[in-house]
Structure 1
């Protein structure tokens, strides 16, 4: 990229090409990214723990490897951020909460290890809200994380810092985690490509029902590149899928003949905003005009199942909250404390019933979507809300009404990606979700790559610049 004055905006695949051609150096790119971070971070608040000195050391080492023609891996010299709940040796993990005594891990998580082995330059750990149980950037420990599109808007959560970093130009590659929508919701509200992989596709050192780690990037190819590295096997995850060689960067496909379900009624949660529904329908038309067979899919999850999942999570968080000393409990975000209190008096029988209802959600989701190659739906029923608001619905007594389209795929283990498909009249990004059959991560990414190339011009993000962010305006 001779003469390119914005290396922080380049995709990872372009950076690697530029390094190989000696058009850019990892040290030069890191300096550009760090300059952006210094300018924007006081507003965005994406980082929990930054490592400028360690990142520079890694960039210098990468530059030497490229000069010798011996890059260590596919991410050599590329800036990367990792969500704070992905362990990095020696870096405290407070789970986004001021009430928690941070765990200091002795070992890197599998994701961290794969990134480092591939030569990625880790910029630091990005923030999350309390225990990852909010779909916003509000945290009792970190304060409020804000959207680069407009600091008055939420980033979504719980991968709030990762999303802000990706949309804000903090380098090309970012890893979030998702247990009910925490990768795709920020993806949708920030205009990103955000993949929730199949359950077990990316090894974890703390596997849990529905939990995955996945990429949050500006392009589909970068998401695929990152998946190729972080999906490599690690024996610590006893739930991981068998090692499989996938052609992650073989993204070309024709959508003609694909069976696509158009899913606009989740059967639970909040009603879909007309602007969101319109964006999804436009994406469906785009696919249909290219030869995909599109048909409507009715609801397959009812409110009772979503309530049961919410109840199960409340009990889990109440168990965490109730173990804290009284003074620590007072430091937990009040919204989270009140929400978790809804699990205080749930009986063992009711917890077991809730768990069984989760199994029903799993079975329903797989059965309803099995006839289709893809399911096209909203990510969230509504666009981004105010940054200071913990949840789309401010009442902690209400079930999480915004995850009716996302959580079923966490429970079923199916891959699902968010990709931008339009904007509201006031400029808020609108993502759509493409979900696939179990284990068909590559099929989902190929469909997203096709849509990325063929979506309407007014659906393509024109990423916010630093002046807008620093000035606190759209």
Structure 2
């Protein structure tokens, strides 16, 4: 392994067990939530000096929660399949009793007195919160560094970025420091770090997971799970889904519960989206994903090349994202802005310069694009694509060196369109580049069809196993 880090190839390591395996062990009494939580805490403490995944590790709170879970399991009364599962929370959602800084020195260190809805649902399900994971300032970009918390590094190569903005969560998942990891995704912030670190990440259908307070970035922003397997994504997503009346944007109904659906890929009609609307597709990633597509033959699936509908999707997304940045910056007093990430200030300034007519036009164009995507996913069972157009690149940079790009949005082109259209999208690993960096494979489903899409992802995970064994058996400690 790079950087002199020795992998632990023990499949029975409690830090590598999936939620269903832990449920079975808790039920049988062969493992306890306290044992597993202690192992996760030790792993988090071991990897944090190397990769900077955590802003805070809550040893006392985690052990207390694990003890309560252990009593429930011994009584045969677990709250859910998430009960006793070590879980991390991104430093961008409210957590009662924790300081939430949004990766920014402009925020207060005072503890919050209320959970965000998704956090409250996970707590109610019995999840054990072991710590808080790093994010760039206000989650504005697809790499993870900030003036407050420093640089977060990729465990496959510490000189590379894990992506962002949920980079700390991805590193925690990849290294076994917890099983469930709450991330947010406004333009790829779950799926990009999942691709860069060889884990699984889900951007659910918009509204499945409630959000409060509303994101300054509006309805492109989603909350979702990150884990090591698609099944764990499904279990965690189910635990954090539900109606919450504080989230007006969620809608009046709730989506159907998630669950495994068999044979979702059998004879499926699949559209392969391989042309990013901005930037260029790396040849190594293209080759890995093309090879992965051959595994669909075993399911009798039909794969057809497709292009996305719409016009200049980069410009459309940037109208939404940059104006969101301007709105977020407006909450910061001018006297406190000197230490803010310069890139964030730049996009906020660009967003503030958009006129009202241009913004309304962008909102109308987004509606047309979303409807066209709904029609496309009525014609196809699923759309698949590379998880990212580039592999992980050097830390401290917003764009790959020598790429000629200027902003992260330009290389996040397999992500941000699906934030605009709000379909569920899942990334799983499908191999590695010649340089030993993970490659992600994205599966997109129709809105509300999260269960079928996650089931397809689970089937593909099993099919891809010969290419992804390294992701399942290695730890970094």
TM-score with structure 1 setting the length: 0.92
* Distance change >3 Å, CA 194–CA 411, structure 1 → 2: same
2:220 alignment partner, SS class: coil
Who is 2:254 aligned against? Answer: 243
- Contact residue 198 and residue 471 of structure 2 kept, 8 A: no
- In structure 1, the gaps of 5 or more residues are none
Partner of residue 125, structure 2: 118
Q: CA 1:205/1:24 → structure 2, altered by over 3 Å: closer, same or farther?
A: same
Take 1:57 and 1:110, find their aligned partners in 2: how far apart are those partners?
22
Checking the alignment, whether the CA contact within 8 Å between 2:62 and 2:130 is kept in structure 1 is: yes
In 1: Cα distance, 2:229 partner to 2:12 partner: 20
Deviation, 1:298, is: 2.2
- Whether contact under 8 Å (1:195, 1:418) holds in the other structure is yes
Aligned to 1:263: 273
Q: Which one of 259, 263, 276 corresponds to residue 285 of structure 2?
A: 276
Mapped partners of 2:166, 2:416: distance in 1: 15
- Residue 322 of structure 2 aligns to a residue whose secondary structure is helix
The answer as to 2:142 corresponding to 1:135 is yes
- Equivalent residue number for residue 202 of structure 1: 209
Q: 1:349 aligns with which of 344, 357, 360?
A: 357
1:255-404 aligned within 5 A: 255-266=265-276, 268-302=277-311, 304-392=312-400, 398=407, 400-404=409-413
> For residues 152 and 41 of structure 1, what CA distance do their matches in structure 2 show?
15
Q: Structure 2 CA distance, aligned partners of 1:257 and 1:62? A: 43
SS of equivalent residue, structure 1 residue 53: helix
Q: Secondary structure at the match of 1:411?
A: helix
CA distance in 2, matches of 1:315, 1:154: 26
Quote how far apart the aligned CAs of 1:194 are. 0.6
Do the aligned partners of 1:94 and 1:103 also contact (CA within 8 Å) in 2?
A: no
1:418 alignment partner, SS class: strand
Structure 1 residue 363 displacement after superposition: 2.9
Task: Report the equivalent of 1:149.
Answer: 156
Q: What is aligned with 2:4?
A: none
The yes-or-no answer on 1:183 pairing with 2:194 is no
Matched, 1:18 2:28: no
Tell me, in whole angstroms, the C-alpha distance in 1 between the residues paired with 2:101 and 2:205: 27
The answer to whether the Cα contact below 8 Å between 1:336 and 1:396 also exists between their aligned partners in 2 is no
TM-aligned CA distance change 1:319 to 1:78, over 3 Å: closer
Instruction: For residue 159 of structure 1, report the CA deviation from its aligned partner.
Output: 0.8
Q: Deviations over 1:97-122 (max 9, x none)?
A: 22334675332111111111111111
Task: Structure 2: state its 5+ residue gaps.
Answer: 1-9
The answer to whether the 8 A contact 2:142-2:408 is kept is no
Partners of 1:423 and 1:372 lie apart in 2 by: 28
Q: Is the contact made by 1:305 and 1:357 (CA closer than 8 Å) also made in structure 2?
A: no
**Higher mean displacement: 399-408 or 82-91:** 399-408
Matches of 1:464 and 1:346 in 2, distance apart? 49
CA distance in 2, matches of 1:43, 1:125: 16
- The alignment's C-alpha RMSD in Å is 2.2
Separation of aligned partners in 1, 2:49 and 2:35: 23
CA contact (8 A) 1:193 1:216 kept: yes
**Bigger mean CA offset, 272-281 vs 340-349:** 340-349
Contact 1:137 1:155 in 2 (8 A): yes
Per-residue deviation, 1:41:
0.6
SS at match of 2:440: strand
Corresponding position of 1:436: 445
TM-score normalised per structure 2: 0.91
Query: Which residue, 18, 30, 35 being the options, matches 2:37?
Result: 30
| Whole-angstrom distance in 2 between the partners of 1:156 and 1:331 | 22
**SS of 1:239 mapped into structure 2:** helix
Match in the other structure for 1:231: 241
User: Is the 8 Å Cα contact of residues 279 and 405 (structure 2) preserved in structure 1?
Assistant: no
3-state SS, counterpart of residue 369 of structure 1: helix
Partner of 2:3: none
